[in-house]
A and B are shown apart, each in its own frame.
Chain A
């Protein structure tokens, strides 16, 4: 089983739609969880951190469920510019630090 699993999609949604992605991780000792965004042929960039209490940044809401070992990302009122691949990132302990482990990514296509 992969450390971090995501549905690759693509998720094809109209502008204005609400879309949700899930991500599961296998290592229960993982700390620190993030969503990154990667545009086509570009480098990944941090979208937001994920906390157990849930956190919101504008149209984006992230949630962590430690008991079930999954992370979610909700995008409301989708924009064309949201089209990208969304990478789930889980940090696993390694010595005195944490190594970010990336999922394969979920592709989102927002159409007019």
Chain B
């Protein structure tokens, strides 16, 4: 079946511009996560959505970052006034249940590689 889909796969933008990244989770998955991964670094948690609950935004690095999830499905991550340090791979993951486990693993998309010039 279809996995987690992210678009675009690559994005090059100029410093100061806004960008919008999209994630289409697996159908029926209630939990959705955004992470970013810089070169040689681990995955950094950004934001978590679970059903209709208020999102956990504790990982967002600054107020330039925001995300929404419409209708409990598609999510968009918006970065305003991009900076060079925002360059990274942005990964979206979804899981069937809110408690990750063997029966409800995280399924990751291929990521969006963002380059800010």
Contact count band on B: 20 to 34
A81 close to chain B: CB less than 8 A: no
- Chain A interface residues (CB < 8 Å from chain B): 4, 32, 34, 36, 42-46, 48-49, 87, 91, 94-105
A102 contacts which chain B residues (CB < 8 A)? Answer: 35, 42-43, 45
Report yes or no: A103 in contact with B109, Cβ–Cβ below 8 A.
Answer: no
Q: 24 A-B Cβ contacts within 8 A?
A: A32-B100, A32-B101, A42-B110, A43-B91, A43-B108, A43-B109, A49-B102, A87-B42, A95-B53, A95-B56, A96-B50, A97-B99, A98-B99, A98-B100, A99-B45, A99-B48, A99-B58, A99-B59, A100-B33, A100-B45, A100-B100, A100-B106, A103-B42, A104-B42
Contact of A44 among B43, B48, B98 (CB under 8 A): B43
Report yes or no: A94 in contact with B108, Cβ–Cβ below 8 A.
Answer: no
Report yes or no: B105 in contact with A46, Cβ–Cβ below 8 A.
Answer: yes
Report yes or no: A87 in contact with B43, Cβ–Cβ below 8 A.
Answer: yes
Contact of B41 among A43, A48, A104 (CB under 8 A): A104
Nearest-neighbor residue (CB-CB) of B58 within chain A: A94
B111 close to chain A: CB less than 8 A: yes
Question: Chain A's nearest CB lies how many Å from the CB of B10?
Answer: 12
Question: Chain B's nearest CB lies how many Å from the CB of A14?
Answer: 25
When chains A and B are docked, how far (Å) is the Cα of A46 from the Cα of B94? 13
Report yes or no: B48 in contact with A97, Cβ–Cβ below 8 A.
Answer: yes
B108 contacts which chain A residues (CB < 8 A)? Answer: 43-45
When chains A and B are docked, how far (Å) is the Cα of A36 from the Cα of B91? 14
Report yes or no: B91 in contact with A97, Cβ–Cβ below 8 A.
Answer: no
Question: Chain A's nearest CB lies how many Å from the CB of B2?
Answer: 15
Nearest-neighbor residue (CB-CB) of A104 within chain B: B42
Report yes or no: A105 in contact with B48, Cβ–Cβ below 8 A.
Answer: no
